[in-house]
Structure 1
Amino acid sequence: MRPDPGDPGLFGPSSVTWNLHGDPMMWVAGIRALYLQALHPRAVRGVMQNSDFRKDAWGRLLRTARFVGVTTYGATDAAEAAGARVRKIHSKLGATDPDTGERYGVDEPELLLWVHCAEIDSYLHIARRSGIGMPDALADQYVREHRESARLVGLDPAAVPASTAELAAYFEKVRPGLAAGPEARDVDDFLRRPPVHPALVPARALLWRRVAGLAYASLPPYAHALYGRPAPAPAVVTRRLRTTGTLLRTIPARLRWQLPPKHILRAMERVGPGSRPAPYKLGTREAILDEPGRAQRGNGGDGTTWRTPG
């Protein structure tokens, strides 16, 4: 069935999600999310016990990227079908706690909520810290919009954070249960040194390691402590994120969007004029990173917050 012309999908061109997810820094955000997600022992165990992550990590990353692309920019029917597929797969999978022998489903709400919150927090954190001057009201709107993506994977939207303050409170609640166990170490090893063809080893050292290192550095301090690897000072990380964001955003968007599977270009053709994603619509002033330790506004519960200069 062909999508209806003009169908905006689940979010549409006026949403924060539509405009934010077209930004190239979302790739850095995705890697940050993986680092954060791996710190929940039950959640990461479910991944490692039900997939050949060590041999097919690239495939898993690409499938996740496609899911985000379809749910953000796809027609409504396509997004709903993608969610139904994920729910069906998850309903058949379980994991075993090696210490207690407990068997549990990977679709437990607690686990789905952790994965969701780590992802949404990472997208928002990287976008704002890399220079998109998003006002707090739009940041809250973004978190609220993703109650819809939470519904797709099987969560009750009413049980999902609907603001940056609620997101920060959620991270504070779950932090005592986080740990960098063996599975998290496997994820860390992959992200630092992913397997590539021998001819691509120099590119991995030059490009990938920098991107993955930046994603790791942007994690909250408690995550660095759990992984046992230090990170540069927050101000240094912010400058690097700003520099990287500025550089990537100089690449013409239509050139970036030509890469398969071209979700954004197809969405623009379907929805019509005025549907081009544009992060600049989200804020007209540059974001400023306050000193750590002030009022928490989400971002992994690391105590950092953003304000727009007045």
Structure 2
Amino acid sequence: MTRFTDSWRSHLLVTLSGNSDGRPGWVDKIETGDNAGYFGPGSAAWTVHGGMATMVAGIRALLMQTLHPGAMAGVHDWSRYHEDPLGRLSGTIQWLVTVTFADTVVAERESGRVAHFHDRVAGTYLDARGEERPYAAGDPELLSWVHVVFTDAFLQSHLLWGDAIPGGADRYVSEWATAGELIGVQNAPHSAAELAAQLEAFRRAGTLKSDARVADAVRFIRYPPLSRGMLPFYRIMFAGAVASIPREYRDMLGLKPSRLPVIWGTRIVLRIVRTLLGPTSTSEDAARTRLARLAPTAGLVPEA
């Protein structure tokens, strides 16, 4: 059992961080800097992004993202997710975690890296009406869509499987609007009601569609190239993510909720993962190390 547990933990750490000890090189930058960052201990962002529900949120966000044909075109034309799915995942994790836990200078630098990558992502796509349209990853509409579905995924997943959020859902949405603004999102939602309204506006406008590209991406997300030991746990989390998505979007994705108690099953899987990984992430530990270093001169006292 110990050998299986150690092997599973190693596979999990490599999947999430690219490193078997769970601490990729970029985490070292989180220890640097001279301020508490945009959020800090006790924030809604630290609570949500430090929780295990992020694992399910990532699946839900990727599924939802495929429904915008412009976003899907960018992934199809420029992403190497078939050849290097973990590379794309780790890049997204790096930005999310850095903005959450690093100081403001490092967070802005990381957001600049993402924005610079977006500079070359451009092309054309067929919209939901069958008309050809140009796209660029920096288009306000696409940035807004990606920000909205990611914020919604992390919020809803945490509400299902996480602890209480300091300040509630509104505070999380408002805090994470800062992250969106760092990469160019305009009019980012600042409350849960605004978030829900913006998401619904995309659907009601007839912007979203499902086609062969969406089906291919959904199939890949459903059956990723993970190790055999991780697949049973992933399949439960995938089913949990699907169950958490509102029916109107599930239907577009061609997915049906499982008849099994997957919400409960996902909660059990996340508890197992938390036990294997420990109570805090290496990124949060790095942030607390930075705050402890700054505390004597800046009056910063990391929360326990």
TM-score when normalising by structure 1: 0.77
Q: In percent, how many aligned pairs have the same letter?
A: 31
Residue 285 (structure 1) aligns with:
none
1:124 CA drift (Å): 0.8
Hey, what's the Cα distance between the residues in 2 that align with 1:46 and 1:131?
A: 32
Matches within 5 A, 1:144-293: 144-156=174-186, 159-175=187-203, 176-196=206-226, 200=227, 202-232=228-258, 236-251=261-276, 253-254=278-279, 257=281, 262-272=282-292, 275=302
TM-score when normalising by structure 2: 0.78
Structure 2 counterpart of 1:13, which letter? P
Residue 139 (structure 1) aligns with:
169
**Counterpart of 2:82 in 1: which secondary structure?**
helix
Task: Pick closer, same or farther for the CA change 1:53–1:92 going to 2, 3 Å.
Answer: same
Hey, what's the Cα distance between the residues in 2 that align with 1:131 and 1:3?
A: 29
Aligned partners of 2:173 and 2:191 also within 8 Å: yes
The question of 1:11 aligning with 2:39 is answered yes
Residue 115 (structure 1) aligns with:
146
1:11 CA drift (Å): 1.3
Residue 58 (structure 1) aligns with:
86
Aligned partners of 2:124 and 2:132 also within 8 Å: yes
Matches within 5 A, 1:9-158: 9-98=37-126, 100-134=131-165, 137-156=167-186
1:102 CA drift (Å): 3.2
Aligned partners of 2:53 and 2:162 also within 8 Å: no
**Counterpart of 2:84 in 1: which secondary structure?**
helix
Structure 2 counterpart of 1:263, which letter? S
Hey, what's the Cα distance between the residues in 2 that align with 1:189 and 1:247?
A: 26
Hey, what's the Cα distance between the residues in 1 that align with 2:95 and 2:185?
A: 16
Hey, what's the Cα distance between the residues in 1 that align with 2:253 and 2:48?
A: 29
- Could you report, residue by residue, the CA deviation over 1:143-176 in whole angstroms, capped at 9, with x for unpaired residues? 01111101111123xx111101111111221113
Residue 297 (structure 1) aligns with:
none
- Could you report, residue by residue, the CA deviation over 1:41-81 in whole angstroms, capped at 9, with x for unpaired residues? 11121121112221112110111011111110112111100
1:131 CA drift (Å): 4.6
**Counterpart of 1:146 in 2: which secondary structure?**
helix
Task: Pick closer, same or farther for the CA change 1:3–1:61 going to 2, 3 Å.
Answer: same
Structure 2 counterpart of 1:239, which letter? W
Structure 1 counterpart of 2:207, which letter? G
1:213 CA drift (Å): 2.2
Aligned partners of 1:46 and 1:95 also within 8 Å: yes
User: Which ranges in structure 2 are unaligned for 5 or more consecutive residues?
Assistant: 1-28, 296-300
1:112 CA drift (Å): 0.5
Structure 1 counterpart of 2:32, which letter? P
Task: Name the Cα RMSD after superposition.
Answer: 2.4
User: Which ranges in structure 1 are unaligned for 5 or more consecutive residues?
Assistant: 278-310
1:237 CA drift (Å): 4.5
Residue 12 (structure 2) aligns with:
none
- Could you report, residue by residue, the CA deviation over 1:269-307 in whole angstroms, capped at 9, with x for unpaired residues? 001285368xxxxxxxxxxxxxxxxxxxxxxxxxxxxxx
Structure 1 counterpart of 2:73, which letter? R
Hey, what's the Cα distance between the residues in 2 that align with 1:4 and 1:205?
A: 39
Hey, what's the Cα distance between the residues in 2 that align with 1:213 and 1:154?
A: 33
Hey, what's the Cα distance between the residues in 1 that align with 2:266 and 2:230?
A: 19
Structure 2 counterpart of 1:144, which letter? S
**Counterpart of 2:229 in 1: which secondary structure?**
helix
Aligned residues: 263
